Structure 1
Amino acid sequence: MGFTKPHLPQVDPETFLHEPLMERMRVLALDWVDHGFGSPRMVHTVYILKLVMFYVLGGVIVATATSNLPAFWHVSQWWDQPIVYQKIVLWTVLLETIGIAGSWGPLAGKVKPMTGGILFWARPGTIRLRPFKWLPLTAGDRRTPLDVALYVALLISVAIPLFVPGAHSDSLSEAVPDNTSGLVRPALLIAPILLLILNGLRDKTIFLGARGEQYLPALFFFAVLPFVDMIIALKLLILVVWVGAGVSKFGKHFSLVVPPMVSNGPAVPFTWLKRAHYRDFPRDLRPSRVADFMAHVGGTTVEVVAPLVLFFSTNSRLTVAAVAVMVIFHLFIVSTFPLAVPLEWNVLFAYATVFLFLGFPNWHGYALTDISSLWLAVLLIAGLLFFPILGNFRPDKVSFLPSMRQYAGNWASAVWAFAPGAEAKLDKVTRTAKNQVDQFVDFGYEPAWAEVTMQQVIAWRTMHSQGRGLFSVLLKNLPDIDTRTVREAEFVCNSLIGFNFGDGHLHNADLIAAVQRRAGFEPGELVVVWVESQAWGSKLQHYQVIDAALGVIERGTWRVADAVAEQPWLPNGPIPLAVTWTGAPRPRVRDEQDHGHGALA
């Protein structure tokens, strides 16, 4: 691949697209090993420039210029200022809520336009996904002028404390007597907290897009806790995020995440190093021992042990070493450009590591034992652990984001299978983006190559544990699968609601029902296979087959062990499936108040 030219698989596209589906998956999975998504270096350069110039430099300039601090290049005079950390968090919340941070650009399936977020959420008539079907005043799935007003009000409410100078804080002055910049005014944080909750109750997409599961607790701590307690609470928050993500990587899924992630990393220059993550390229694409080591030593162990060291250490050298480990950990993730592109989030966490654990170390009075009340510590720990524990035991009830399963490989996910030509019916949905294949054509790809590019994404899905199960269900249920157009649901979701972060709850039966009310698919024209995350204590994953016109027509399970043991292209046929329920086909009722599932689902 070049700076402006993508890598394209070495196939004749017209002939290739007439091959059987799983043969296409084999060719594209093998190509992914060496080339990843094949994006031109220009794409990665755009992301780096946005990250460095807009997010980092822009955020630091805003934070320092509005806080009576020296210019941004005097790093030693602002890096440990609490108001700078508060404003960097607010800056991140603002960008995430607009939709120009995570899940942005071509690597997230957004080519023209590159932004989702605000282009959907500030537009009446687009799809809205409420989290609780029983909650009054949230009925329907169509965005109203009220929803738009609430969303715009949220953006304004976040911008105000970001740009308004700080105020004196007695608790800060007592802990840091020479501080002159103060803290963000607590009263200015009430509106963004309430508006983020209100927006989330009307549309879970906005709450999750703003990364409310992490930034809402931080804003709450900024608003209500005295300074020392605030720092300790922020340490607890980042500890729960890290350790929750690390614990979620236990099991069989995560080893399969690492090889395709490394293969997609533009900073990995050697083909042999990419292939070393696979057991026996090109015959066996299961993870090698190198991948297992990267996953469970370089990943899981680091993400659990280093944060615990940071949280409890009173030794300065040990703390500095653990800080360095976690900063490198987050920068490595940035270098791989994962498809959800959470680059800003990783940079924020790298800075937070330095700010919290070196700027306010445990031995200076910021350890858990220095909190003002034992009961406060208990409440903080219980509150921060509630959704991760609930979400891991009942993944059907809680999004994988509040469950703290970021990039663990244990995702709810799906693939959509359209009858020939039926994908065009999505154009009836009110949105601000075309189908991704049409976006690539508009960008300059020939139609056949645009289709091959979109099939690279589903090949990426087959390289993960869920992919082997999802495609097994497709093969079992759709004898005409080789003639259908198969799409990765995460990318489809991005074109329909403007955001996805790998969370299958954003494209579950609720979204499919909302799309059906607008697109009007005939029975059989759109069949979706959707699977829930694996729950703690279970060896199974539960899937659904959803006909857009008929609703759920089959439920069943597969064993995770069977999925991870197979090759991406299923050379031995579908993995074993256990059908637990089949429903009599019946047309969907065109009712915007269909019942769905789940708290924060």
Structure 2
Amino acid sequence: MGFNTADMPPVDPAKFGSLPFMERMRLLATHWCEYGFGSPKKLHMLYVYKLIFFTVVGLLLVGLTTPALGGFGEIGSWWTEPIVYVKLMAWTTLFEVLGLASSSGPLAFKFSPFIGGCLYWLRPKTIRVPPWPGKVPFTAGDTRQLWDVAVYGLILLNLAFLVCFPGQVTDRVPGSEAGLPPQWAMFSYIGLIVLMGLRDKTVFLAARSEQYLAALLIFASAGSVVDMIIAAKIFIFASWFGAGISKLGRHFTLVVAPMVSNTPWITSRRLKRSLYRNFPEDIRASKVTSSIAHILGTIVELALPLILLFSTNTTLTLLALIGMTGFHIFIISTFPLAVPLEWNVFFIFSAWFLFWGHPAGEGWAVTDMSTGWLLAAIVMAAFFPILGNLRPDLVSFLPSMRQYAGNWASATWAFRGREVEDKLNQHLVKSNLNQIDQLTAAFGNEVAEIFMQKAVAWRTMHSQGRALISLMMRHTDELDNYVIREAEFVCTTLIGWQFGDAHLHNEQTIAAVQRRCNFAPGEVIVTWTESQPIHRNYIEYKVIDAAIGVVERGTYVVADATEELPWLPNGPIKHTVTWTRPGYVAPSDGSQYVQQSRVNA
């Protein structure tokens, strides 16, 4: 991988499209093992510059807009002030909800422009995704109105106010001249983001509400700074520990191998090959990868947070903080797809602020918290992770705290030709053209198509991708008759943001697209899998024809997917059909489903 040049697969771009689909997937998946996505390192530097901007500007805003802190010469004495934590949390949230943080730039397949976010959510007539349109009054429909734009604008102003307000003295933080932002401003943000979330869950999730909203609520409500700080400790503990629990299944090792292969500073091809069982014939994750995943990953994320939450030993706490800092720095350094980098930076600060700046042995232990707020914090921290792991169909993987675990709802889209895919450009109001068009403008169509299909190959390196392509083999007459796209990249041009959660592009969003594009039956096929419930060994799936709706539901055993190779040399993985739309027959099941019967179904 060069600084200015990409590492391309060993194939003539002009001949790439003529290769059978599965042969292309094998070529691209094995290339990923050694080179990752293959993007030039200068693209990673864009994110480094953005992180520096985020960090420096955030500190400047806190120091310059809070005169009671005493200026940067006194930073050693004021970095543990509660207002610093609240302001940096508001700054991080603002950066996220603008679309400047996660799901931004070329590593999130946004090339021109580099962001979606505010470019979508300040624009009327873009698609919005309400969570319960048939149940919550005044949320029906899927078109962004001026009302939605206004609420989103108020959210941005509210966050900017929280960042820049100098603070006011309050007896809730005794002895502090800086105090806290006014309670009404914290409550107003909470109200606005919940209201926005009921109209469009995409904005709610993009603000990373699962990480910050509960903490802000406690800082706005609690009467004691001790309750505020310890509640924040419980919430960050829940984020770490919940993620660690979710990595105990079969999916996580399949995440680590392609993630490490994509790390720009790891250049050893020998090391990268060792991540796989027998490269290039067998690229399932090796024992080396399993050790990295569960010793350096899962165990760290389970053990160190327990130490931080309960330890009163200074040395032990310091070692745990160093360990968690290294954990987050490593994640940042891998530049994972969707690039949630700023969140990791804030978590590094939060860990030191909460557990070093407010040590458990000096009155900041869980046992020092008032009983009422302790119970409330535990319920808020545990409710969605427990519900989301038992019923993943009800909760996004983000509030379920399954970060990086590989156990997430996923999908693959198939368009019957580029002219069908282009309908998304023709009929949708959006700020980004389809990625294939963004890439074609820069590299030409043949190279652009290689990059687009490499994203699909990346998905096949994960368990869900093998199931999705297996289903697609049954529900298309021939894979090579379709343009196959990774759904997360389709999603980001539909609604302006994506973060690995296919709930944002399920049949509800597909129906919104269909109302605008009017695809014919068979023109757009979507295979879709749910997350795995923690107590079951199988996953539920559905197949959606954009013109008709869901045409099939079923299940597949997780082990059958994790133990198969990405290019499915043994054919589609086994799956059990539990429901079929009356009159529907999958094309590969022996008969074409004629257009008229599809329309009438």
Q: Which residue of 1 aligns with 2:261?
A: 263
User: 1 CA distance for matches of 2:339 and 2:16?
Assistant: 29
Is 1:137 aligned with 2:127?
no
Bigger mean CA offset, 212-221 vs 258-267: 212-221
Q: Which residue of 2 aligns with 1:90?
A: 90
Q: Which residue of 2 aligns with 1:593?
A: none
The answer to whether the 8 Å contact 1:83/1:183 transfers is yes
Q: Which residue of 2 aligns with 1:325?
A: 323
Q: Deviation at 1:79? A: 2.6
User: 2 CA distance for matches of 1:536 and 1:319?
Assistant: 31
The answer to whether the 8 Å contact 1:61/1:71 transfers is no
Counterpart of 2:423 (choices 401, 419, 425) is 425
The answer to whether the 8 Å contact 1:551/1:587 transfers is no
Q: Which residue of 2 aligns with 1:211?
A: 208
User: 2 CA distance for matches of 1:148 and 1:561?
Assistant: 45
Q: Which residue of 2 aligns with 1:168?
A: 169
User: 1 CA distance for matches of 2:92 and 2:488?
Assistant: 23
Equivalent residues in 2 for 1:39-438, closer than 5 Å = 39-52=39-52, 54-68=53-67, 69-72=69-72, 75-133=75-133, 134-173=135-174, 177=175, 179-225=176-222, 226-372=224-370, 374-420=371-417, 421-427=419-425, 428-438=427-437
The answer to whether the 8 Å contact 2:64/2:71 transfers is yes
Opposite residue 289 of structure 2, the aligned amino acid is A
3-state DSSP of counterpart to 1:24: helix
Bigger mean CA offset, 456-465 vs 34-43: 34-43
User: 1 CA distance for matches of 2:202 and 2:397?
Assistant: 13
The answer to whether the 8 Å contact 1:475/1:574 transfers is yes
User: 1 CA distance for matches of 2:236 and 2:258?
Assistant: 27
Opposite residue 142 of structure 1, the aligned amino acid is T
**1:514-565: CA deviations, max 9, x gaps?**
0000111100000000000001211111111100001111111111000000
User: 2 CA distance for matches of 1:436 and 1:77?
Assistant: 48
User: 2 CA distance for matches of 1:515 and 1:164?
Assistant: 41
3-state DSSP of counterpart to 2:443: coil
The answer to whether the 8 Å contact 2:321/2:351 transfers is yes
Q: Which residue of 2 aligns with 1:32?
A: 32
The answer to whether the 8 Å contact 2:308/2:317 transfers is yes
3-state DSSP of counterpart to 2:172: helix
User: 2 CA distance for matches of 1:516 and 1:392?
Assistant: 31
Opposite residue 377 of structure 1, the aligned amino acid is L
Q: Deviation at 1:587? A: 6.2
User: 2 CA distance for matches of 1:430 and 1:458?
Assistant: 25
User: 2 CA distance for matches of 1:393 and 1:456?
Assistant: 33
3-state DSSP of counterpart to 1:191: helix
Opposite residue 233 of structure 1, the aligned amino acid is A
Aligned residues: 582
User: 2 CA distance for matches of 1:265 and 1:185?
Assistant: 43
3-state DSSP of counterpart to 1:457: helix
The answer to whether the 8 Å contact 2:475/2:525 transfers is no
Q: Which residue of 1 aligns with 2:590?
A: none
User: 2 CA distance for matches of 1:458 and 1:354?
Assistant: 39
3-state DSSP of counterpart to 2:422: helix
The answer to whether the 8 Å contact 1:99/1:209 transfers is yes
The answer to whether the 8 Å contact 1:60/1:72 transfers is no
3-state DSSP of counterpart to 1:142: coil
User: 2 CA distance for matches of 1:383 and 1:344?
Assistant: 24
3-state DSSP of counterpart to 1:580: strand
- The alpha-carbon distance between structure 1 residues 71 and 459, as it changes in their structure 2 partners (threshold 3 A), is farther
User: 2 CA distance for matches of 1:75 and 1:39?
Assistant: 39
Runs of 5+ consecutive residues of structure 1 not aligned to the other structure: 590-601
Bigger mean CA offset, 418-427 vs 332-341: 418-427
Equivalent residues in 2 for 1:512-551, closer than 5 Å = 512-551=510-549
3-state DSSP of counterpart to 1:171: coil
Q: Deviation at 1:64? A: 1.0
3-state DSSP of counterpart to 1:156: helix
User: 2 CA distance for matches of 1:76 and 1:328?
Assistant: 22
User: 2 CA distance for matches of 1:493 and 1:412?
Assistant: 13
Runs of 5+ consecutive residues of structure 2 not aligned to the other structure: 585-596
**1:427-458: CA deviations, max 9, x gaps?**
1111111000101122x201110010000100
The answer to whether the 8 Å contact 2:521/2:599 transfers is no
3-state DSSP of counterpart to 1:466: helix
The answer to whether the 8 Å contact 1:247/1:300 transfers is yes
Q: Which residue of 2 aligns with 1:14?
A: 14
**1:266-302: CA deviations, max 9, x gaps?**
1212111111111111111111111101111111111
Bigger mean CA offset, 295-304 vs 229-238: 295-304
3-state DSSP of counterpart to 1:552: strand
3-state DSSP of counterpart to 1:530: strand
The answer to whether the 8 Å contact 1:541/1:559 transfers is yes
Identity of aligned residues (%): 51
Opposite residue 242 of structure 1, the aligned amino acid is W
Opposite residue 88 of structure 2, the aligned amino acid is I
Tell which has more relative contact order, 1 or 2 (C-alpha 8 A, sep 6+): 1
The answer to whether the 8 Å contact 2:214/2:380 transfers is no
Q: Deviation at 1:386? A: 0.8
Moved over 6 A (4+): 586-589
Q: Deviation at 1:73? A: 7.2
User: 1 CA distance for matches of 2:74 and 2:526?
Assistant: 54
3-state DSSP of counterpart to 2:86: helix
Opposite residue 4 of structure 1, the aligned amino acid is N
Q: Which residue of 1 aligns with 2:440?
A: 441
User: 1 CA distance for matches of 2:214 and 2:518?
Assistant: 41
**1:455-491: CA deviations, max 9, x gaps?**
0100000000101111111112223112210000001
3-state DSSP of counterpart to 2:413: strand
User: 2 CA distance for matches of 1:71 and 1:21?
Assistant: 61
TM-score calculated relative to the size of structure 1: 0.95
User: 1 CA distance for matches of 2:3 and 2:440?
Assistant: 19
RMSD value over aligned CA atoms?
A: 1.3
3-state DSSP of counterpart to 1:417: strand
Counterpart of 2:550 (choices 524, 549, 552) is 552
The answer to whether the 8 Å contact 1:418/1:525 transfers is yes
TM-score calculated relative to the size of structure 2: 0.95
User: 2 CA distance for matches of 1:186 and 1:359?
Assistant: 23
- The alpha-carbon distance between structure 1 residues 72 and 449, as it changes in their structure 2 partners (threshold 3 A), is farther
3-state DSSP of counterpart to 1:170: coil
User: 1 CA distance for matches of 2:319 and 2:181?
Assistant: 31
Q: Which residue of 2 aligns with 1:597?
A: none
3-state DSSP of counterpart to 1:229: helix
The answer to whether the 8 Å contact 2:243/2:301 transfers is yes
